[in-house]
Chains A and B, each alone.
Chain A
Amino acid sequence: MADAMREGTARGAGLAEILRDAGLYALVTLGLCIPIVSYRTDLSQTSALDLTPRWGVVAGLCGAIFALRLVQRMVLLRRDARRALTPAPRQATEAVDATPNAGQRISGLALPLFLGAALALPLVAALASGGLGPARYWIDLGILILTYVMLGWGLNIVVGLAGLLDLGYVAFYAVGAYTYALLATTFGLSFWLCLPLAGLAAALWGMLLGFPVLRLRGDYLAIVTLAFGEIIRLVLINWVDLTGGSAGISSIPRATFFGIPFTAGPNGFAATFGLSFDAMHRNVFLYYLILALALITNGVTLRLRRLPIGRAWEALREDEIACRSLGINTTTTKLTAFALGAMFGGFAGSFFAVRQGFISPESFNFLESAIILAIVVLGGMGSQVGVAVAAIAMVGGPELLRNLGFLKAVFGEGFDPNEYRLLLFGLAMVAMMVWRPRGLISVRMPSVALTQRRGVSGALVREGHG
Chain B
Amino acid sequence: MDVFVQQLINGLTLGAIYGLIAIGYTMVFGIIGMVNFAHGDVFMVSTFIALIGFLILTTWLGVASVAVALLIVLIITMPLTALWGWAIERVAYRPLRGSFRLAPLISAIGVSIFLSNFVQVAQGARNKPTPPMLNGGFTLFERDGYAVTLSYKQCLIMIVTVLLLAGFWYLVQRTAFGRAQRACEQDRRMAALLGIDVDRTISLTFVLGAALAAVAGVLYLLYYGVVSFSDGFVPGVKAFTAAVLGGIGSLPGAVLGGLIIGLIETFWSAYFSIEYKDVAAFSILAIVLIFMPSGILGRAEVEKV
Contacts and interface: CB of A to CB of B under 8 A. Distances in A.
A429 B107 contact: yes
A34 interface: yes
Contacts of A212: 286, 290
A105 interface: no
A55 B290 CA distance: 49
A428 B45 contact: no
A31 B123 contact: no
Given A35-B56, A41-B123, A422 B87 contact: no
A324 B118 CA distance: 43
A215 B52 contact: no
Give the residue among A35, A47, A212, A228 with the most B Cβ atoms within 10 A.
A35
B214 to A, nearest CB: 13
A276 B104 CA distance: 56
B150 to A, nearest CB: 29
A462 interface: yes
Interface stretch (A81-89, A349-357, A367-375): A367-375
Contact of A370 (B102, B113, B122, B275): B113
Nearest to A325: B305
Interface stretch (A111-119, A217-225, A401-409): A217-225
B117 interface: yes
B34 A219 contact: yes
A425 interface: yes
B43 to A, nearest CB: 14
A234 B102 contact: no
Nearest to A211: B290
B131 A48 contact: yes
Nearest to B59: A51
A434 B95 contact: yes
Interface stretch (B161-169, B173-181, B258-266, B276-284): B276-284
Contacts of B90: 1, 4-5
Contact of B121 (A39, A216, A423): A423
Interface in B67-121: 80, 83-84, 87, 90-92, 94-96, 99-107, 109-115, 117-121
Contacts of A219: 34-35, 101-102, 105
Contacts of A366: 233
A165 B106 contact: yes
A426 B124 CA distance: 18
A95 to B, nearest CB: 17
B303 A321 contact: yes
B53 interface: yes
Binding site secondary structure of chain A: helix
A230 B35 CA distance: 18
Interface residues on A, range: 35 or more
A242 interface: no
A28 B79 CA distance: 12
Interface string A363-388: 00011001001100100000000000
Contacts of A204: none
A362 interface: no
Given A32-B83, A51-B55, A366-B233, A223 B285 contact: yes
Contacts of A163: 102
B109 A39 contact: no
A49 B96 contact: no
Given A39-B56, A228-B286, A423-B114, A223 B35 contact: yes
Contact of B117 (A48, A220, A230, A422): A422
Nearest to B84: A32
A36 B48 contact: yes
A4 B305 contact: no
Nearest to B45: A36
Contact of B123 (A3, A36, A47): A36
Ordered nearest first, which 7 A-B pairs have the shortest CB separation?
A429-B110, A426-B114, A463-B100, A426-B113, A433-B107, A430-B110, A3-B95
Given A43-B129, A223-B289, A430-B114, 20 more contacts: A1-B90, A4-B95, A5-B90, A35-B49, A39-B52, A41-B55, A49-B129, A51-B52, A165-B106, A216-B289, A218-B105, A227-B237, A237-B275, A419-B121, A423-B113, A430-B91, A430-B111, A433-B99, A433-B104, A437-B100
27 contacts: A1-B90, A1-B91, A4-B91, A32-B84, A32-B87, A35-B49, A40-B122, A41-B55, A41-B124, A49-B51, A49-B55, A51-B55, A215-B290, A218-B101, A222-B102, A223-B289, A224-B285, A224-B290, A230-B278, A230-B282, A231-B286, A237-B275, A366-B233, A423-B113, A426-B117, A429-B107, A434-B95
